[in-house]
Amino acid sequence: VYDNPADLSAKSWTVMRFSETEQNGKLEWLIRKDGCMHCAEPGCLKACPSEGAIIQYANGIVDFQSEQCIGCGYCIAGCPFDVPRLNPED
């Protein structure tokens, strides 16, 4: 597996995952994006007590505003896809 970056982090909430597979004797790449699913009803947003730290735009995009984050980690528990990450040093 070749991932870029290696995993989700506080600075990168999106990762491209690359996997090699053999199909009919030929090597093929499977590539998928791992990151925010932009849920219709985001659990991270519902769990977050800091107003404005996680917002959902009218077009459905869910966005994180780090300057509003209080570092409680409730967004992590609220996300069914285990996407949000916090930097323990922040």
CATH of the domain at 18: 3.30.70
- CA–CA distances in Å: residue 19 to residues 25, 38, 57, 80: 16, 24, 33, 23
Query: Does residue 26 carry a pLDDT above 90?
Result: yes
Distance, in Å, from the CA atom of 85 to the CA atom of 16, rounded to the nearest integer, reads: 16
Distance, in Å, from the CA atom of 44 to the CA atom of 56, rounded to the nearest integer, reads: 11
Query: How many structural domains comprise the chain?
Result: 1
* 42 inside domain: yes
* 89 inside domain: no
Least confident of 19-23, 45-49, 78-82: 19-23
* 67 inside domain: yes
* 90 inside domain: no
Query: How confident is the model at residue 52, as a pLDDT?
Result: 96
Where are the strands (E) in the chain, listed by range? 2-4, 14-23, 26-35, 54-56, 62-64
Tell me the average pLDDT across 39-50. 98
Query: How confident is the model at residue 71, as a pLDDT?
Result: 92
Tokens read off for 47: 């769990």
Q: Which helix (H) or strand (E) element contains residue 15? A: strand 14-23
Query: Does residue 19 carry a pLDDT above 70?
Result: yes
* 88 inside domain: no
**Residue-number span of the structural domain to which 18 is assigned:** 2-78
* 40 inside domain: yes
